[in-house]
Structure 1
Amino acid sequence: MSGEEVFVGSIDQGTTSTRFIIYDRSAKPVGSHQVEFTQFYPQSGWVEHDPTEILESVRLCIAKAVDKATAAGHNVDSGLKAIGLTNQRETTVIWSKSTGSPLYNAIVWMDVRTSPICRKLEKELPGGRTHFTEACGLPISTYFSALKVLWLLENVEAVKKAVEKGDALFGTIDTWLIWNLTGGKGKGLHVTDVSNASRTMLMNLKNLDWDKTILETLGIPSEILPKIVSNSEVIGTIGKGWPVTGIPISGCLGDQHAAMHHGTGAFILLNTGEEIIQSNHGLLSTLAYKLGPNAPTNYALEGSIAIAGAAVQWLRDSLGIIKTAGEIEELALQVDSSGGVYFVPAFNGLFAPWWRDDARGVCIGITRFTNKSHIARAVLESMCFQVKDVLDSMNKDAGEKGEAKNDKGEFVLRVDGGATVNNLLMQIQADLLGSPVVRPADIETTALGAAYAAGLAVGVWTENEIFSSVEKQEKPTVFRPVLGEEVRKKKVESWCKAVSRTFDLADLSL
């Protein structure tokens, strides 16, 4: 495809905001728009989104990004060849096939209302928490969609009735968006991709289909589930009523299947090739990607950290210590250490490698000397300590072959996501790991990953072009450790002590 202007769009539907980015043939962004949307916290530990508001945020972002690119002189109307989609994973929506309306708010991945259901299953099933791990790679946890579906079936009358009548459709956010983008009621396509399906706790990792035994054990009807497709194929075209119409949707990936990501949460994926490695150290076996219906399946080990950037939002929105997320760096730089303060943001329990949904946040080591700069710095450090814990587990699971070494034989961590613009955060990360951290020039690799998957399916790019362009990207920034080994060790010990203090706090009296 040469000569004419060629563009690929990417919908990036995250936990706190939605974006649409338009890329040209050389994968440079030519127009984008981003909006935040409402977070609902109906009770302690509950987190919801309004699926209709998410839909409208997508509509607005597409319209505004197209306007911006057009105003900059790009002929997007005739040049847009495909749209990719990347989304917050696990977040669960059940809606009515006949009306198109959600039957309840979306229950967000970090929501912990399903704790009692998890405990009950762990007691009842012979395999306990890891009963389904062999089939789906995931432990029983509040994190995954299957438990959220069970909660909706047990607690929401409208959902129960719709399931009985055969009028209920289940989906993660990708499924909800695609159904609406491809025509909605009467016309919408009910599909999900392998990466999102692998996070429901319902997909068999080997045959990439819904696992009948798990569905029967949990009592989830297969009729409500979408069809599973690969990450890169033409799924359908955008229907009437959207700012762009008739464009193929040809790429879909869960938002962490791109790189190690610092966003609302932090997620670290280690590609294990075509082999499924079962973790002995609290990590998840999951699907990395499948770039086409007949392409090989790549698997990964993943460490998921529930609260990373969200802790910064908490300082901004709940405590008012900062006015914008960007201010945390400046505030934390006013001190040269956290002054012995350790903060563990177990707001809704802890994910990898602990998997403790009875944990709650703690801030320890506070003295009369402590000020808000120390707390800001402790929040940044907490993000980095959690990443270190996951990487340590990865090295134990995958051994030496799991380490990405550079030509000097050093372990290197490559990062992306909005929080990585914070230079202090990146320096702390390098210091606590004792190894270099590499930040690419374009930190929003999730959106680009979805655009690449979509462009690949319609022939805008070849696989070789995509993988070689990743090599050729503008020069990255490298952060090297400056902290001494002795200090690093002591800090890690203190962090472990702080983590142990978070356990068994879920039933503290109000």
Structure 2
Amino acid sequence: MNNFNRFGHLLGVINVGNAYCKFLVYAAKNAEILTCHEVKLTEISNLPGWSEFDGNVIWRSVLECIEVSIKNLLILDINPADIVALGICNHRETTILWDSSTGFPVYNAIASSDTRTSEILSRILLKTKNKINYLKEATGLPLSTCFSAIKIKWLIDNVKEVRDAIEKNTCLFGTLDTWILWNLTGGVDSGVHATDVTNASRTMLMNIESLQWDTRLTSFFGIPQKILPQIKSCSEIYGYVNAGLLTGVPIASMMGDQQASLLGQLCVKAGSITCSYNEGSSLLFNTGQEIIDSDNGLLSTVAFKLGPDAETFYALEGIAPCAGTAITWLNDTLMIPTQQLGNNNSPNCHSTLVHSLSDPQVIGGVPSTSNTYFSGVTHLNPLVSNNNYRAPITTRICDEITFVPAFSGWYSPYWKYNSRGIISGLTSQTKSQQIVYATYEAIAFQTRQFLESLTRDCKMWPPIDRLLVGGDIVTDNNFLLQLIADLCGLTIEKPQTTSPPCLGAMLAAGLAMKILTLDHFRTYCVPPVDIFQPSIGDALRDARFSRWMKTVQKSLVLEYGGKSNSRAVSTEFLFEDKTNERPVSYSIPGTIFLFSSFTILLVAEILLQK
């Protein structure tokens, strides 16, 4: 320890999402963030439903974040050589293919929320007799446009450069962690082509029990196994930085962002639970070493594997593609002022919005006689369980507006890829603040859906009475946190940290380097929490949820292209694999059936007379 500066061992974490790329440097001994730099990523959307990112831009952004952070360390008189390892956490499912001989992507990275693969999914469902869970036993996942396999299939079918690279044996596939690792470790010259079990579990190509690529799955999608990376644990040395300011530093952890958040909030025991709110929302429930097959629309996934020889922990997960995305849409597309996703530099706009949401004339808020939490500051204020602020949720005007942000269809619990988003109840008197409120309400109700599915799947487990949360859109949004507590009927605990996924990746790297233990992390690195208690009764909570579910019903029957599905759709479990068997007479034209039946009767009558 004497060879290090006053902060001791340092750990760097690269975090790449669908909105920002950032690099953080932690003091390992107490998880203090010493410096951080982030770069906004620009989405490319050439057609409706398409969402891409330039892989080269992502890589250059990573380098910029590292370079600026290292300069910041020097300004702070901290030696960058004290960084003993790097960790990587990333937005899962985003798919990129590149040519190993040139080092360049053969196509843009396709984001998880991209829906261009809907037609391919439709054909697969036709082939499997509409069994959405056809591959779930092997993968833990329902068939969906979300996961990587179907994106790879689209790339193979539609991009000649991909097929050429496969033929030349130079095509490589990866999620964002793999792309960054390959470049960090030398790229064309010596790049390590690997991923971890959490990211691999989101491809729909890995067997969730063996933790290896499954030839049955690769054959099903027509994907050559030779393009896939090696699968490793979340916490081990993958390789070493090949060039630049951190040359020789080991990359010692890689994790999908939601699983990293689970670890970063120390949900390491079976029965622990967390929910993250970023572009989408994700609720993860640690099931220990047991794989639970959900009958209620949740997926089974790998939670973490903290070392090559460590036990594998699994989780049930509910995911919604639109949470922060819906807020960004309000702000950027409808020009309705709201909190910028992940932006803590514009407090005045957010403060104005929240005060207007608290106006009884707008949505019937019940403001406290004490000071509001939303004073325009950019850091969390400490909260206690006896909050004096009641979420504004009881008015006739507010009851008129409901919002279902199914921009990319439905994930959990319905897995209906072609549903549409709906805002219901608009009138000429509707105010913009009411639409913002309805958006926040939808985010809370999506969480309630996950919790209800989880309760059905885990009837023998202890009941859930509190929920750990994190993510960009709740970082400085006590209003939304209180609303989630009220509408879900749970105690909400938000750790005072800006990036739980980065904390998890840091912990995994520290474990791999043997400079951290779970006990040390629990003692010295766990931040204090802000607590939000429910402030309304079950009757009001259930009434509002029931009203929102009526709009969900409309969303489920309205398909892309404006067509309405004429069949009545149950909002219980659309994802169940039901055999669509019909009587034989259904396959015979009516006229032929009637004529043949009459002929048989006539012949029978003649025979009886004889």
TM-score, length basis structure 2? 0.80
Say which is worse superposed, 500-509 or 419-428, in terms of deviation.
Answer: 500-509
C-alpha displacement of 1:323: 6.5
Give the unaligned 5+ runs of structure 2: 263-274, 341-346, 366-392, 564-610
Aligned to 1:295: 310
Specify the code of the residue in structure 2 equivalent to 1:499. V
Say which is worse superposed, 147-156 or 214-223, in terms of deviation.
Answer: 214-223
Superposition pairs for residues 66-81 of structure 1, below 5 Å? 66-75=70-79, 77-81=80-84
Alignment partner of 1:381 out of 420, 436, 441:
441
Contact 2:404/2:442 (8 A) holds in 1: yes
Root-mean-square deviation (CA, aligned residues, Å) is 1.6
Post-superposition CA distance 1:378-412 (Å, at most 9, x none): 111111111110111011112252644xxxxxx00
Alignment partner of 1:11 out of 14, 19, 43:
14
Counterpart-to-counterpart distance in 2, 1:123 and 1:201: 18
Post-superposition CA distance 1:18-61 (Å, at most 9, x none): 11111002111010011111011111111111111111111111
Aligned to 1:451: 506
Contact 1:283/1:352 (8 A) holds in 2: yes
Counterpart-to-counterpart distance in 1, 2:87 and 2:358: 39
Specify the code of the residue in structure 2 equivalent to 1:188. G
Say which SS state the counterpart of residue 70 (structure 2) adopts: helix
C-alpha displacement of 1:469: 4.1
Say which is worse superposed, 450-459 or 122-131, in terms of deviation.
Answer: 122-131
Instruction: Identify if the C-alpha distance between structure 1 residues 115 and 300 changes in structure 2 by more than 3 Å, giving closer, same or farther.
Output: same
Aligned to 1:310: 325
Aligned to 2:484: 429
Specify the code of the residue in structure 1 equivalent to 2:248. G
Alignment partner of 1:355 out of 397, 415, 438:
415
Instruction: Identify if the C-alpha distance between structure 1 residues 402 and 132 changes in structure 2 by more than 3 Å, giving closer, same or farther.
Output: farther
Say which SS state the counterpart of residue 446 (structure 2) adopts: helix
Aligned to 1:261: 276
C-alpha displacement of 1:431: 0.4
Aligned to 1:344: 404
Instruction: Identify if the C-alpha distance between structure 1 residues 127 and 494 changes in structure 2 by more than 3 Å, giving closer, same or farther.
Output: closer
Aligned to 2:539: 486
- Does residue 82 of structure 2 align to residue 94 of structure 1? no
Say which is worse superposed, 127-136 or 57-66, in terms of deviation.
Answer: 127-136
Contact 2:284/2:316 (8 A) holds in 1: yes
Aligned to 1:368: 428
Say which SS state the counterpart of residue 363 (structure 1) adopts: strand
Aligned to 1:332: 357
Aligned to 1:414: 468
- Does residue 453 of structure 2 align to residue 393 of structure 1? yes
Superposition pairs for residues 90-239 of structure 1, below 5 Å? 90-125=93-128, 128-239=131-242
Say which is worse superposed, 243-252 or 327-336, in terms of deviation.
Answer: 327-336
Aligned to 1:408: none
Contact 2:30/2:521 (8 A) holds in 1: no
Counterpart-to-counterpart distance in 2, 1:351 and 1:127: 16
Post-superposition CA distance 1:272-311 (Å, at most 9, x none): 0000000000000000000000000000000011000111
Aligned to 2:605: none
Specify the code of the residue in structure 2 equivalent to 1:68. N
Counterpart-to-counterpart distance in 2, 1:153 and 1:425: 42
Counterpart-to-counterpart distance in 2, 1:506 and 1:469: 51
Post-superposition CA distance 1:308-345 (Å, at most 9, x none): 01111111111111165262545533442434211111
Aligned to 1:249: 251
C-alpha displacement of 1:127: 7.7
Counterpart-to-counterpart distance in 2, 1:323 and 1:415: 21
Contact 2:99/2:172 (8 A) holds in 1: yes
Counterpart-to-counterpart distance in 2, 1:494 and 1:363: 13
Counterpart-to-counterpart distance in 2, 1:253 and 1:154: 29
- Does residue 562 of structure 2 align to residue 508 of structure 1? yes
Specify the code of the residue in structure 1 equivalent to 2:194. V
Counterpart-to-counterpart distance in 2, 1:67 and 1:265: 33
Give the unaligned 5+ runs of structure 1: 405-410
Say which SS state the counterpart of residue 502 (structure 1) adopts: helix
Instruction: Identify if the C-alpha distance between structure 1 residues 429 and 347 changes in structure 2 by more than 3 Å, giving closer, same or farther.
Output: same
C-alpha displacement of 1:124: 1.1
Contact 1:345/1:362 (8 A) holds in 2: yes
Instruction: Identify if the C-alpha distance between structure 1 residues 490 and 153 changes in structure 2 by more than 3 Å, giving closer, same or farther.
Output: same
TM-score, length basis structure 1? 0.95
Specify the code of the residue in structure 2 equivalent to 1:379. T
Counterpart-to-counterpart distance in 2, 1:298 and 1:425: 31
Contact 2:338/2:436 (8 A) holds in 1: no
Counterpart-to-counterpart distance in 2, 1:194 and 1:87: 13
Say which SS state the counterpart of residue 130 (structure 1) adopts: coil
Specify the code of the residue in structure 2 equivalent to 1:267. S
Contact 1:59/1:243 (8 A) holds in 2: no
Contact 1:10/1:451 (8 A) holds in 2: yes
Aligned to 1:65: 69
Contact 1:270/1:402 (8 A) holds in 2: no
Instruction: Kindly name which structure, 1 or 2, has the bigger radius of gyration based on alpha carbons.
Output: 2
Say which SS state the counterpart of residue 65 (structure 2) adopts: helix
Aligned to 2:24: 21
Post-superposition CA distance 1:439-474 (Å, at most 9, x none): 10114110010011011101221232234446xx34
Aligned to 2:272: none
